[in-house]
Amino acid sequence: MFDDVDDAGVVAAMSEAARAEARQGARRLDAIAELTSRHCDKDGERTQWACDGWDFTAAEVAAALGITHKQASAQMTLALTLRHRLPKLAAMYREGQVSGRVVAAISWRTHLVDDQEPLGLIDGALAKLAAAWGRLSDYKLDQAIDVWVDRYDPGALRRTREPLRRRNLQVGKKDDECDTTAVCGRLYATDEQVLDRRLMAMVEGVCDDDPRTIGQRRADALGALAAGAERLSCGCTNPDCPGTACDGRAANVVIHVVTESSALQPQTDPPASAPAKPPAGLIGSGGIVPTPLLAELIRSGAKVREVRQPDDAPEAGYRPSAALEEFVRIRDLTCRFPGCERPAEFCDIDHTVPYPIGPTHPSNLKCLCRKHHLLKTFWRGWGDQQLPDGTVVWTTPTGHTYKTLPGSRIFFPAWDTTTATLPPPGPPQAGPNRAIMMPTRRRTRTAELTRRIQQERTLNDAYVAQRNKPPPF
């Protein structure tokens, strides 16, 4: 493609592609803003629904873009911000003069500006300068935006008491290694001291022959603490060591066998010339567990349970048996709505064809998170068809179709999850009257957003008042 182009031409092509990408990004957000405005700018009973018009639109956006519900909601917020709050910046974005990164940063840093006059002044000022900010680091970009927020609406700054607001605890990332996961967060200093002392006390309770480093012991101690243990089990091989008692971590693990049982036997280290074996286990949230770790968990007391193929005959009643529910959750692994990553253990078991028209059978059951279960049940236009192998074909209110496959097919392609083919559903029957109603919110989404903005601005009032005090004489 670039065989006859010199280096300067290649760089120019990169720059033009970035501008074209920005223009297409703006077009995507314009479409999202239009769809959102059609379904969310209306008052009525559905604004109180737990699965409201915003969720209805987010589901359509998530399915179309192949992203999660949370990511779709963020795209909708950004799209509406550009349409209603920062129109001059939006115009620059459509022309490719600013990048999506800059636009997203400006949207976030101006989120607390709740008056149109200062917002218009900030929009006008940033529209003149933002084109030159694409090469700034994230930190410098935030500072450049805050200069103008501070000038026109100092109460809307997002840095007042920011260290306290940033308290969080995140467990796991998408790029984690197969047998470990990341834990990161920010605590109150007092809580950090308590946790640190507790972990060190558990670390010091093992004998000197424990082969683990201090850092490894602390990591294991945190797992033992989560399991409710008072002490950390020692890792030495001395049978007389008083600290070798089980610390409860493995006892909280249930291993569902869906592959050859030989994968669960203790493995010796293979010769260097032997090819590496694929991982043999899977955590419910999607993390892969290597065979040696599985064997170690079993030795330490983990429960082993085989996942059996269900019978062809439907079960009586609405609720599936424990064995059938277990099969469906292991087969699906996550919510079966397009783009949703909610682990199956936290999902509802949904009848694709509603009971009693559709039977309680694995070919008619799938996992849906509560949000998407409510969406399917109460919002018209959403349709789903389930195939015997667990494939689900979704049809959206706009007529688009999306196919989702059982999550187990990715990790265990040799596992045949196909169950019996069901006859076409018959005519509607008079089922039990469960008086199903949509759960409602305490506040509408708009009211909750207003409350949070005012709450954060109130925290800023003390800072603004202190800064505006006249200098001492």
Query: What average pLDDT score do residues 371-381 get?
Result: 93
**Does residue 461 lie within any of the structural domains?**
no
Task: Round to whole Å and give the CA distance between 230 and 224.
Answer: 8
| Pair (150, 91) in one structural domain | yes
270 pLDDT above the threshold of 90: no
Residues of the domain holding 376: 322-411
**Does residue 403 lie within any of the structural domains?**
yes
Confidence band (pLDDT; 50, 70, 90) for 394? very high
| Pair (229, 302) in one structural domain | no
Confidence band (pLDDT; 50, 70, 90) for 363? very high
Specify the number of domains making up the chain: 4
pLDDT of residue 140: 95
Task: Round to whole Å and give the CA distance between 397 and 387.
Answer: 21
Q: Answer yes or no: are the C-beta atoms of 320 and 348 closer than 8 Å.
A: no
pLDDT of residue 428: 60
Query: What average pLDDT score do residues 149-169 get?
Result: 75
| Pair (368, 390) in one structural domain | yes
**Does residue 357 lie within any of the structural domains?**
yes
| Pair (176, 280) in one structural domain | no
**Does residue 153 lie within any of the structural domains?**
yes
| Pair (277, 394) in one structural domain | no
Q: How far is CA 193 from CA 71, 182, 196, 216, in A?
A: 35, 20, 5, 19
User: What's the 3-state SS for the chain?
Assistant: CCCCCCHHHHHHHHHHHHHHHHHHHHHHHHHHHHHHHHHHCCCCHHHHECCCHHHHHHHHHHHHHCCCHHHHHHHHHHHHHHHHHCHHHHHHHHCCCCCHHHHHHHHHHCCCCCCHHHHHHHHHHHHHHHHHCCCCCHHHHHHHHHHHHHHHCHHHCCCCCHHHHCCEEEECCCCCCCCCCCEEEECCHHHHHHHHHHHHHHHCCCCCCCCCCHHHHHHHHHHHHHCCCCCCCCCCCCCCCCCCCCCCCHHHCEEEECCCHHHHCCCCCCCCCCCCCCCCEECCCCCEECHHHHHHHHHCCCEEEECCCCCCCCECCCCCCHHHHHHHHHHHCECCCCCCCCEHHHCEEEECCCCCCCCECHHHEEEECHHHHHHHHHCCCCEEEECCCCCEEEECCCCCEEEECCCHHHHCCCCCCCCCCCCCCCCCCCCCCCCCCCCECCCCHHHHHHHHHHHHHHHHHHHHHHHCCCCCC
466 pLDDT above the threshold of 80: no
**Does residue 326 lie within any of the structural domains?**
yes
Give the pLDDT confidence of 6-45 residue by residue, as tens digits.
Answer: 999 999 999 999 999 999 999 999 999 999 999 886 667 7
**Does residue 416 lie within any of the structural domains?**
no
Between 335 and 204, residue with greater pLDDT: 335
Lowest mean pLDDT among 50-59, 90-99, 212-221, 285-294: 285-294
| Pair (403, 386) in one structural domain | yes
Give the pLDDT confidence of 245-267 residue by residue, as tens digits.
Answer: 776 666 666 666 664 444 444 44
Mean pLDDT of the chain: 84
**Does residue 276 lie within any of the structural domains?**
yes
- Reported pTM: 0.79
Q: Of 160, 195, 227, which residue constitutes the final position of a domain?
A: 160
281 pLDDT above the threshold of 70: no
**Does residue 41 lie within any of the structural domains?**
yes
pLDDT of residue 280: 45
Give the pLDDT confidence of 116-138 residue by residue, as tens digits.
Answer: 999 999 999 999 999 999 899 99
Task: Round to whole Å and give the CA distance between 279 and 374.
Answer: 36
pLDDT of residue 264: 42
| Pair (142, 23) in one structural domain | yes
As a whole number of angstroms, the longest Cα–Cα distance in the chain is: 89
426 pLDDT above the threshold of 80: no
Quick one: how far is CA 229 from the chain centroid? 29
| Pair (18, 156) in one structural domain | yes
Q: Answer yes or no: are the C-beta atoms of 366 and 342 closer than 8 Å.
A: no
373 pLDDT above the threshold of 60: yes
| Pair (84, 16) in one structural domain | yes
**Of 191-205, 260-274, 429-443, highest mean pLDDT:** 191-205
Lowest mean pLDDT among 94-103, 143-152, 173-182: 173-182
| Pair (225, 191) in one structural domain | yes
Query: What average pLDDT score do residues 399-409 get?
Result: 93
| Pair (156, 21) in one structural domain | yes
Between 312 and 175, residue with greater pLDDT: 312
pLDDT of residue 72: 96
Lowest mean pLDDT among 43-57, 282-296, 457-471: 282-296
pLDDT of residue 130: 94
Q: Of 366, 392, 411, which residue constitutes the final position of a domain?
A: 411
326 pLDDT above the threshold of 60: yes
pLDDT of residue 231: 84
Q: Of 368, 391, 411, which residue constitutes the final position of a domain?
A: 411
| Pair (35, 121) in one structural domain | yes
